[in-house]
Amino acid sequence: MENKKYQSKEAILELYNSPLLELIYKAATVHREHHNPNEVQLSSLISIKTGGCPEDCGYCPQSAKYNTEVEPHKMMEVCDVVSQAKNAKANGASRLCMGAAWKNIRDNRDFDKVVQMVQEVTNLDMEVCCTLGMMTEDQAQRLKNAGLYAYNHNLDSSREFYKDIISTREYDERLETIDNAKKAGISVCSGGIIGMGESVEDRIGMLQTYQLMETPPDSIPINALVAVEGTPLEEQEPVPIWDMIRMIATTRILFPTSVVRLSAGRTQMSKEGQALCFMAGASSIFAGDKLLTTPNPEYNDDMELFKLLGLTPTKPFQNGEKPTVGEDTGVNEMKQKNAEKEERLAARSIQFNKAGDDFKPRKFSEVDSIQE
């Protein structure tokens, strides 16, 4: 649902630039009308395939085009992802987000593994969100059938500023992926990053793009740029906390029922700054020491902040029904091949052991001396 009161860019700019305490008050009032102000969702973000991305997003250390300290890693094993999901759930997380450094999803074994991850983590009673790059309708439907709850695909900024930070993916391609997720009945998570050198008008332009959608995103993450050495944006100064608060408050007022997520950049924020973000309508954070490859506050630090502010973690599926986990042909075939491979390896091991049991060393005649 969107707020019909603010339709023009001028009206939104006036809202954004209104006296800060008045803006926070308006946002807090809207937030309490549609959400429990004492609950904040804890989400955990796992980089299931790290680095080597062919895109040139100016903010991203995982791009293969930049010389950063990120070491590329192949796709994680399903069992390792499930283990991390169980640990995250034990620490209070109700949502697991899985990110892969891809430009787009390819219909291969790695995607089969992602589908299996979705199935198994959903069966842990956790919301599962994926961010895997561009996605077709068929791929979206397959993920939905596996039990995917949400798909993240950020617009990052306004259409006008977008071309200054990315050249390898069109703005309309991002919109198409969002539409494909909606068509499959997947909850959409889409937002942006501030502090990249954009203007306030660019920030408002991104929000207006969401306003023009038939159905706005169910959740809107607001990220503060984490400038990483080796990327084109490495010299950007940290965005002021007041800008984050204004952006979160404006987003909350424009989209009353959406979940506004306080995402990257929290290591640069004081506890007081984060508290004002919650007051202004943020109702989700990422817990754990990393967001994909960038730093994030430690879990214990977040729990101390929650205790201080009287906040409790949100339970899963408060904003939608738990998806049904269906069978998947690709996953079943992969499991069958893995089982057959294990059987062959076991058979070879048995044969090797038998050969070892029959082994008898050669006997040599004793030699009293060696004659030269």
Contact at 8 Å (CB) between 99 and 84? no
Catalytic residue list contains 60: yes
Q: Quick one: how far is CA 310 from the chain centroid?
A: 26
Active site residue 129: yes
Q: Are 44 and 97 in contact (CB under 8 A)?
A: yes
DSSP element (H, E) containing 330: helix 329-357
Pairing of strands 39-49, 312-313: parallel
130 is catalytic: no
Taking the C-alpha atoms of residue 276 and residue 285, their distance in angstroms, rounded to an integer, is 14
What is the rounded CA–CA span in Å between residue 57 and residue 165? 6
Q: Is 277 a catalytic residue?
A: no
Using CA atoms, how far apart are residues 153 and 255, in angstroms rounded to an integer? 18
Q: Which one, of 131, 108, 103, lies nearest residue 118 by Cα?
A: 131
- Tally Cβ neighbours within 10 Å of residue 201: 15
Buried b (16+ CB within 10 A) or exposed e, 27-38: bbebbeeebeee
Among the listed residues 95, 174, 189, 266, the single catalytic one is 189
For residue 221, the cross-strand partners are: 261
Start-to-end C-alpha separation, the chain = 99
Q: How many helices (H) and strands (E) does the chain have?
A: 12, 12
From 203, 246, 252, 261, active-site residue: 261
Positions marked catalytic: 53, 57, 60, 97, 129, 189, 261
